[in-house]
Amino acid sequence: MASEWFDKGLEVRKAVLGKDYVEKSLAAADEFSMALQEYATEACWGMIWTRPGLPRKTRSLINIAMITALNRPHELKLHIKASFNNGVTKDEIREVLLQAACYCGVPAGVDAFRIAREAFAEMDAAKK
- Segment 97-120 shows an average pLDDT of 97
| Entry pTM | 0.92
Q: For 57-66, which contacts have Cβ atoms below 8 Å and span 24 or more sequence positions?
A: 57/83, 57/86, 57/87, 57/88, 59/86, 60/16, 60/86, 60/88, 61/88, 61/92, 61/93, 61/96, 64/88, 64/93, 64/96, 64/97, 64/100, 64/112, 65/96, 65/99, 65/100
Which pLDDT value is given to residue 2? 74
Which pLDDT value is given to residue 115? 98
Domain 54-128, what fold? Answer: AhpD-like (1.20.1290)
pLDDT digits (tens, 9 = 90+) for 4-49: 999 999 999 999 999 999 999 999 999 999 999 999 999 999 999 9
pLDDT digits (tens, 9 = 90+) for 56-105: 999 999 999 999 999 999 999 999 999 999 999 999 999 999 999 999 99
pLDDT at position 1 over 60: no
Which pLDDT value is given to residue 107? 96
Task: Look at residues 9, 17, 12, 7 and name the one whose alpha carbon lies nearest to residue 85.
Answer: 17
Indicate the domain borders of the chain.
1-53, 54-128
Whole-angstrom distance, CA of residue 21 vs CA of residue 122: 15
